[in-house]
Amino acid sequence: MKKILLVLCIGILLMGCNRQQQTSENVFFKGKDSYQREVVLEKEPLRVVSFSQAVTEAIFLLHAEEKLVGISQFCDYPPETQNIPKVGDLININVENVLKQRPDLVIVGSIVSDKTVKQFEKANIPVYCLKEEQRIDDLPRLIRTVGVLLNRPEAADQLAQNYHQKINQYKSNAPKSQKSVYYVVGFGATGDYTVPGNTFIHDIITLAGGRNIGESLTTWSVSREYLFQQDPDCIFIREEDYDAFCHTAPYNQLRAVKEGHAYPIPSSSIDNLCPRNFQVIDTMAERLQALAE
């Protein structure tokens, strides 16, 4: 009798192990996100909410937009995003509105609070935190990550390879005008801000052939004295801030403004690391090359 019970116990244990092994093998995705949180997706996500502009754009590029059931209010590209429910901004997220979309995956960036992430987890909604990358060389990795999560690995790998080659081409062939460039992040009574050398916007300026006046800075803040001392050859600024900047003293006394070398840039194409950064590089390169001739 004891032998029979022993055999039965061993059999039950083996069945449990086999079941655990089978479950593990059937998991669609298991890995760590940008914050080293372990994320497990039991099956391919079919209803996805994105709170990242870069991720939303990548999803469209991978032709997986049919999975998007909700996006942030800042996800405005491509134009087809107008047809997708907006479920909150990056800070004030209405968790109930998100849950109404019945998502099986929520992808967030670094701005979304840990409190919000825990609310989703409490509702048994997997959350993958994909923090914003800081250098343009990281763009291929972002594309590959989104491709794996949405079961588009081959398409993502092809895109990533193309972007990697494109970046290398820029590095090899970018015109070296070395015209000084000031990218306006902020201005006015609250202070003046530009991009330091450890940012992807600095990479954009460099790949376009310019010399970023903020390259040696350790913070985004720049003194007005330094700005006028540099008196840049060319200024790029978000298109929504362009008129105010060019018509506000003392910025209207900068050489680039007076000579008509201040240019607006669509903010959504430069404020986030995304494939449209390549369009910005081309635009900047054209402007800088014209100045050099």
Q: In the chain, what are the domains?
A: 27-162 (3.40.50.1980), 175-292 (3.40.50.1980)
Considering only residues 175 and 263, tell me which one the structure prediction assigns the higher pLDDT.
Answer: 263
- For residues 207 and 279, is the Cβ–Cβ distance under 8 A? no
**Range picked from 8-12, 42-46, 84-88 for highest mean pLDDT:** 42-46
pLDDT above 90 coverage of the chain, percent: 72
* Model confidence band, residue 25 (pLDDT cutoffs 50, 70, 90): low
- Judge residue 32's burial from the number of C-beta atoms within 10 Å of its C-beta, 0-12 exposed, 13-18 middle, 19 or more buried: exposed
Residue 268 has what pLDDT? Answer: 86
Q: Find where tokens 């060389």 sit.
A: 137
- Identify whether the C-beta of residue 233 lies closer than 8 Å to the C-beta of residue 211: no
Largest Cα–Cα separation, the chain: 99
* Residue 64 pLDDT > 70: yes
Q: Which residue has better confidence, 227 or 97?
A: 227
Cα 68 to Cα 136: distance, rounded to the nearest angstrom: 25
Query: At residue 3, does pLDDT exceed 80?
Result: no
Query: Side by side, which strands form the sheet with 180-184?
Result: 211-212, 180-184, 234-238, 262-265
For 155, half-sphere exposure in the C-beta direction (CA atoms, 13 angstrom radius) is 14
Residue 104: pLDDT band with limits 50, 70, 90 = very high
Does pLDDT of 15 surpass 60?
A: no
Q: Which tokens in the block code for residue 102?
A: 């019945």
Q: Which of 179, 186, 195, 194 is nearest to 261 (CA)?
A: 179
Position 39, amino acid? V
Which tens digit of pLDDT belongs to each residue from 150-202?
999 999 999 999 999 999 999 998 766 689 999 999 999 999 999 999 999 99
